Structure 1
Amino acid sequence: MSQHHYAQGPEDLATLDIVLSKTGLEFMQDIVDGRIAGPPIGQALGFRPIIAEEGMVTFEGTPEFRTMNPLGTVHGGWYGTILDSCMACAIQTMLKAGQIYTTLEYKVNIIRPIPIGTTVHAVGRVQHSGRSTGVSNGEIRGKEDGRLYATGSTTCIIMDGPKG
């Protein structure tokens, strides 16, 4: 296994040809294992995928001072971004080579504030993966204490990628 790393510029991101040549599960496992650079949003917000299995992806993250809102708590956008990532990537693990997807809509329910510096796991699990749509749910829980901080759900559209 290689060390997880993030794309530092557009040239570091996987090309569309690479994405389309792999199943969604292979692509996600390549990011987890460091064979393909992770997206820069993860570096910016302090999270990364640590597990990718068929129908399930786990991200690990630790909100820091830079993720706070003016009231001194973790911004709701941080919850939304890590949940969108784990839930949509779970759907990605169900894709065949040649398919792509994108988030159509997602919902977040914040249960309680995550204390700054608390490491959490955001786990997305597929509920449905069909020909044109995927639906998954997610949870953010404390890595150490297992406390539930937020839940979410998403619907993604699944498409055939562009042909050569």
Structure 2
Amino acid sequence: MSVDEDGRIGPGPFARHLGFRPIRADEDGAVVEADPRPEHLNGGGIVHGGYLTALLDSTTGWAVHAHVPPGVAAPHVQLTVQYVRAAVAGEPLVCRGRCLRAGGRIASAEAEITQGDRVIARAVTSHAVLV
């Protein structure tokens, strides 16, 4: 687990490996940017759905972690993704997420990826709050 100086869980090696750049993660939500490269494409030449899902997963996770006490894990227990249109390499992706509710045991969040002015994918998530 990667924890910052305030005890908040931050980007781990997987998100760094994929090139995800957390812009902010606070009580207002999380914003994460990514630049899909040729190695992130599927056989059809578009950004792989797994790359998009990982971006949604990371963004909703950071949004939730801004609402739970420092050092508390809140892993995903459910992630539902809606792919709206194809994303392409070479153009930045921006994922914006927000925590809808963070209770003592369960939290929920949502996120949306855009590329330029186009919506690419959306997600709704549930998280176990592990106190």
Q: Highest CA radius of gyration, 1 or 2?
A: 1
Question: What percent of counterpart residues are identical?
Answer: 25
Q: Does 1:119 find its partner at 2:111?
A: no
Relative contact order, higher structure (CA 8 A, sep 6+): 2
Match of 1:76 among 49, 67, 84: 49
Aligned-residue offset at 1:97: 3.1
Match of 2:37 among 64, 72, 75: 64
Aligned-residue offset at 1:109: 0.8
Using structure 1 for the length normalisation, give the TM-score. Answer: 0.73
| Residue 97 of structure 1: aligned partner | 70
Structure 2 Cα separation of the partners of residues 153 and 132 of structure 1:
17
Cα pair 1:79 1:108 within 8 Å, conserved: no
Distance 1:141 1:131, change over 3 A: same
Cα pair 1:134 1:157 within 8 Å, conserved: yes
Aligned-residue offset at 1:65: 0.4
Structure 1 gaps of 5+ residues are: 1-12, 32-37
Structure 2 gaps of 5+ residues are: none
Match of 2:106 among 118, 133, 137: 133
Cα pair 2:2 2:12 within 8 Å, conserved: no
Cα pair 2:15 2:58 within 8 Å, conserved: no
| Residue 5 of structure 1: aligned partner | none
| Residue 20 of structure 2: aligned partner | 47
Runs of 4+ in 1 over 4 A off after TM superposition: none
SS in 2 for 1:159: coil
Structure 2 Cα separation of the partners of residues 92 and 66 of structure 1:
29
Structure 2 Cα separation of the partners of residues 70 and 47 of structure 1:
22
Amino acid at match of 2:119: L
Output the aligned Cα RMSD. Answer: 2.0
Q: Does 1:86 find its partner at 2:59?
A: yes
Structure 2 Cα separation of the partners of residues 125 and 103 of structure 1:
14
Amino acid at match of 2:129: I
Matched length: 131
